[in-house]
Amino acid sequence: MSDFILVLDEGTTSTRAMLFDREGQCRDTESAALDQHYPRAGWVEHDAAQIWDRTLACGQAVVDRAGGPEQIAAIGIANQRETVVFWSKQTGEPLGPAIVWQDRRSAALCRTLRERGEEAGVQARTGLLLDPYFSGTKIAWALEHWPQLREAGDDLAIGTVESWLVWKLTGGAHLTDASNASRTLLMGLGTGRWDDGLIDLFGVPRGSLGEIVDNAGDFGAADAFGGSIPICGLAGDQQAATIGQACLKRGEVKATYGTGAFVLANCGASPPASRHRLLSTVLWQLDGRRAYALEGSVFVAGSLMQWLRDSIGLIARADESEALARSVEDNGGVYCVPALAGIGAPWWEAEARAALTGMSFSTTRAHIVRACLESMAHQTHDLQTAFAADGAPWACLRIDGGMVANDWMAQDLADMLDLEVERPAFAETTALGAAMLAGVGCGWFDGLQAAAAMRGNAERFRPTIAPDAREKRLKGWSFAIETVVAAAQR
């Protein structure tokens, strides 16, 4: 009897295999770190072969401990979005590094296209903006600068990470799910199909792209784990987390604080149009019908703690940040604008650089670490304002991701947003959402509403800060962020 769903959760800094039962309990997990490469300032790369090798090893370990492939009903895949992989259809081997979503190498191309007046048309067709964040600009850059891609001709395959993993798992199925395809700048948001005009704009060979499919269904059999297991769920990580948080009704909102931070609001069956530089994206596609979300993307969240630990040495462990934040009464006037990879929504300044402001001789390590943690709530407040201006106000915010294990940060979000914040007992909602989709795809559930039973209980945080203290902090943040943006625009 097949009692489990295997989720392959391929993130930015690690890959994991997780085993879920029908009640949503995670019964086993195996993880491996992924190496990030920074060949130049602003460039971020992965080794696609390493992604595959470590995903395969993690999956095999979990399958073996479960009792073999016959115990697995289906596979679900969640992946870091916008990261793009180039490989040979003939050999199945990478033709260059994977360009990671954080990479900014196509900033000049984006600027040129904006100056040509292309952004309004691109936004109307895709719901996205012209920014290095998205796959299409990365693909265009690679095709211009890497001759091996042009020389590959019809042998060239291009896809986001779930597309790469499906190819390797099945031995050659070339497809991508609608949620990931909607992040490429190449798919028409309303049609759910590759757009000829966008393909021409970025110079992408149409034959290199996979078929766009639903987020749940039968996507081929994975034979890599010693037996045949159907792949039945696919989603970009943020869409998967939104599903895992059971944001299944219009107006329900979640925020994930992982390597970056991403807020998605369910907007129902019609693509939302943002006037405040938020993104419109496919939330899921089932039976050819799409649900949409409005999204705000913050490029630096958990990676800021990693930077404090590994590059600056202000903390020895990420969880040390909570104790340091609590050890001081306030931020001492210090603000951190964490633009280590530019600034995302609603500012969208690819050339912005990080800044610490307001320091004096009285500033301590604790003040700096607290200011870095506080920047999560400050950036989220900017998004809250933009969502409300676009007609999507938040009634409650459901949070997840590695950072929100920090109780101080969860409370700080409630205080700065003046809103109830809800944290599930099981915070790995990205993997849970992929399991829910795979459960629908393999027939465990007759729809996402039924699959939502896999989500467990949640803890709630309510605002406690005085209004004048909130306003003082937000005023200090506004000065800091506007200074950084102005410097980037000079």
Pick from 171-175, 195-199, 317-321, 378-382: least confident = 317-321
pLDDT digits (tens, 9 = 90+) for 33-81: 999 999 998 899 999 999 999 999 999 999 999 999 999 999 999 999 9
pLDDT digits (tens, 9 = 90+) for 23-34: 899 999 999 999
Distance CA 142, CA 144 (A): 5
Neighbours of 35 (CB within 10 A): 11
pLDDT in tens, 117-153: 999 999 999 999 898 989 999 999 999 999 999 999 9
Mean pLDDT of the chain: 93
CA atoms of 166 and 229, how far apart (whole Å): 12
Res 2: pLDDT: 76
Answer whether 101's CB lies under 8 Å from 185's CB: no
CA distance readout (Å), 479 to 387, 411, 472, 476, 484:
21, 23, 11, 5, 9
Residue 110's closest CA among 184, 202, 205?
A: 202
Residue type, 415: D
Instruction: Check pLDDT > 90 for residue 369.
Output: yes
Q: What is the β-pairing status of strands 261-268 and 289-298?
A: antiparallel
Predicted confidence at residue 193, as pLDDT, reads: 95
Percent of the chain with pLDDT over 90: 85
Q: Is the pLDDT of residue 322 over 90?
A: yes
User: How far is 183 from 337, CA to CA, in rounded Å?
Assistant: 26
pLDDT in tens, 426-477: 888 999 999 999 999 999 999 999 999 888 788 999 999 999 999 999 999 9
Taking CA atoms, 127 is separated from 87, 186, 225, 476, in Å, by 28, 11, 38, 32
Q: Are 273 and 432 in contact (CB under 8 A)?
A: no
**Rounded to an integer, what distance in angstroms lies between the CA atom of residue 155 and that of residue 113?**
28
Question: Residue 368: pLDDT above 80?
Answer: yes
Give the angle 203-207-212 at the CA atoms, nearest 5°. 100
Burial of residue 88, with CB atoms counted within 10 A of its CB: 0-12 exposed, 13-18 middle, 19 or more buried: middle
The predicted model gives 391-420 an average pLDDT of 94
Go through 427-448 and write b for each residue having 16 or more CB atoms within 10 A of its CB, e for each that does not: bbbbbbbbbbbbbbbbebbeeb
pLDDT band at 1 (very low <50, low <70, confident <90, very high): low
Nearest to 376 by CA among 349, 420, 408, 342: 408
- Pick the closest to residue 428 from 48, 65, 134, 27 (CA basis): 27
- The structural domains of the chain, ordered by start, are 4-237 (3.30.420.40)
Q: Using one digit for the tens of pLDDT, what is the confidence trace for 236-250?
A: 999 999 999 999 999
- Residues near 292 by beta carbon (within 8 Å), at least 6 away in sequence: 127, 189, 267, 268, 269, 270, 271, 272, 280, 281, 282, 283
| DSSP 8-state secondary structure symbol assigned to residue 267 | E
Q: Alpha-carbon distance 338 to 358, whole Å?
A: 14
The H-assigned helical ranges of 189-294 are 196-202, 237-244
Counted residue by residue, the chain has a size of 490
Angle (CA) 11-110-149 rounded to 5° is 65
Q: Is the pLDDT of residue 174 over 90?
A: yes
Strand partners, 295: 264, 279
Distances (CA, A) of 463 to 181, 387, 413, 418: 38, 20, 8, 6
Q: Read off the tokens for 197.
A: 């005009």
Predicted local distance difference test score (pLDDT) of residue 184 = 96
